[in-house]
Amino acid sequence: MSLRFLTLLSFIIIIGISCNNAEGKNSADDNSGKYVLVVHGGAGTISRQTMTPEREAQYRAGIEAALKAGYKIIEEGGEALDAVEAAVRILEDDSLFNAGKGSVFTHDGRNELDASIMDGRNRNAGAIAGVTIIKNPITAARAVMEKSEHVMLAGRGAELFAIEQNIDTVSPEYFRTEPRWRGLQRSLRADSLKKVNSTASLPADPDQKFGTVGCVALDKNGNLAAGTSTGGMNNKKYGRIGDAPIIGAGSFADNKTVAVSCTGWGEFYIRNVVAYDVSAQMEYKNMSIAEASASVIKKVGDAGGNGGLIAIDKNGNIAMPFNTSGMYRGAITKDGKIEVYFYND
């Protein structure tokens, strides 16, 4: 009894510590090796205070639908790569998330989408950047990986490639949603106010900055895969490319170590090669997935950046650290048990 009591006490202490952890750890970080798939729908200023029960239910439904779509494939013995693509497509089609249908607008009032995918079996990878007519960028990224000699295609060239591959295209208007359009207008007003008074600011759209979706998966054959998709940064200018389509920054997967998908202030993620750095620290420093993921998010924070990441290792351990007030995220176990989290408390 005394031993059991001590074990229970330790467990309570660990939970207590993790609940107060600024890096947003939660019970899924216990590394119990039971997970098969993790998704995220972006990190940012997500807090209980600004969330309504209706909106919370919508986000939860979106995350759960993505988890289930990916899980179905894994459960039936399918490939991690297929599961990642299926889960990300669900999030791209859901206008709540900043990817595919819910993408934010550029400064010029366009929707320019980026995505990347990576296969842990062989480090094959594909990415597209700055596309405006591809319904599901993650599927186009996969086609770049599997049907071209290249890893990364951009702009009109990427669209021509996708058309040749019979990938679904849509009119650019498909991506227009009113909440995102209003988000752009708020930012444009804030810009013009700043021109008059450099210290002025308007409240930002809480979801706008780090909206990205992603998925990492482990299949029954021990293969890992990672995918990330985004509409980029609200009000972005000059053909800016963030971390989402950059292999090593936004996505990375290697069966030897880990699959990672990031969401955050892209510039800091590129400069810190975030997704690959999780893998490098696991491989070269023998860190656990939790240690490596937390270490990398700390680096991003120390540099002045913020955001989060999701990761799954070859043993089914996961990590979902972030240094923002919240990150839409969820995981599903081998047995189909779903966990969904939004906040860091």
The amino acid sitting at 206 is P
Burial 41-76 (b: 16+ CB within 10 A, else e): bbbbbbeeeeeeeeeeeebbebbbbbbbbbbebbbe
Residue 64 corresponds to which tokens in the numbers above? 């759960």
Active site residues: 212
Angle at 299 between CA 345 and CA 126, to 5 degrees: 95
* Parallel, antiparallel or unpaired: strands 152-154 and 124-131: parallel
Is the CB of 30 or the CB of 267 nearer to its own copies? 267
In this structure, are residues 68 and 331 in contact, taking their beta carbons and an 8 Å threshold? no
- Shortest CB 153 distance to its own copies, Å: 5
CB-hemisphere CA count at 13 Å for 324?
Answer: 26
Alpha-carbon gap, residue 331 to 277, rounded angstroms: 22
- Shortest CB 2 distance to its own copies, Å: 42
Is the CB of 268 or the CB of 328 nearer to its own copies? 268
- Shortest CB 122 distance to its own copies, Å: 8
Is the CB of 75 or the CB of 243 nearer to its own copies? 243
- Shortest CB 19 distance to its own copies, Å: 31
> Is residue 266 helix, strand or coil?
helix
Residue 197 corresponds to which tokens in the numbers above? 């008074």
- Shortest CB 221 distance to its own copies, Å: 21
In this structure, are residues 116 and 227 in contact, taking their beta carbons and an 8 Å threshold? yes
Is the CB of 118 or the CB of 312 nearer to its own copies? 118
In this structure, are residues 223 and 235 in contact, taking their beta carbons and an 8 Å threshold? no
Is the CB of 4 or the CB of 237 nearer to its own copies? 237
Where along the sequence are the contacts to its own copies (CB under 8 A)? Answer: 118, 123-125, 129-130, 148-158, 160-161, 236-242, 246-249, 252, 266-267, 270-273, 276-277, 280-281, 284-285, 303
